[in-house]
Amino acid sequence: MQIQQEEILDLLHEHFPELAEKELQKDIAEVGRLMHYNAGQTIMDYGSYVRMVPLITEGSIKVTREEDEEGKEMILYFLGKGETCAMSFSCCMMDKQSAFRTEALEETRFIGIPVKYMDQWMTKYQSWKKFIMGTYDNKMMEIIKVMDSVAFEGMDERLTKYLKARSEAAGTNELECTHQEIANDLNASREAISRLLKKMENKGLVELHRNRVVLV
């Protein structure tokens, strides 16, 4: 137990320097649980109850919202280390079933904070409140950007933004994913994505391999 608390403190210092209050750090170390997911694993699914808020320390996560009819999803945003899931707050604060699905894109680790502490920490710790509010603001803007690009932009721009956002979250230019997966995320056909990627490759913007796209 003691060892795990030390580890959490180290992770906090490394990835969440803005959570500077000593007391807060102590609390997190005390109640936080180290979680681990493999690539492709679903962390939270539609309809499940959120019991933890994640502080991501390694890897990246994709957050999608269910869309009408069969299988159509809409990407909301990606999350990487040093971030947390804004949607998980509203879900857990309202004690609502999740309307979102989160999936680990690669091997992912985070510190899980049980939801019951959210409330008290908001009033008790200034840095926690700032952190949560800042996250809200960020992700809200990102969602609006996604909506704009769906409404006003062509597939090519959307693809470019998708790749950029995803690589930013992952902290690497090498994305492990198939054209089919990208197509699903953008609600496009696999062929369309393949062709656009090919064009980008010819322009020297990306490198294509099986199950891998490298941004240049």
For binding to DNA (CB under 7 A), which residues are involved? 154-156, 178-180, 187-192, 194-195, 197-198, 208-211
Our CB check for DNA shows the closer of 69 and 95 to be: 69
Instruction: Residue 53: name the closest of 100, 130, 134, 113 by CA.
Output: 113
Instruction: Residue 39: name the closest of 111, 110, 103 by CA.
Output: 103
Our CB check for DNA shows the closer of 48 and 194 to be: 194
3-state secondary structure of 204: coil
Q: Would you state the structure tokens that stand for residue 112, as one six-digit string? A: 């899980």
Give per-residue burial for 54-78: e unless 16+ CB within 10 Å, then b. bbbbebbbbbbebeeeeeebbbbbb
CB of 173 to DNA, least distance (A): 16
Our CB check for DNA shows the closer of 81 and 158 to be: 158
CB of 102 to DNA, least distance (A): 21
CB of 63 to DNA, least distance (A): 22
CB of 174 to DNA, least distance (A): 13
Our CB check for DNA shows the closer of 23 and 153 to be: 153
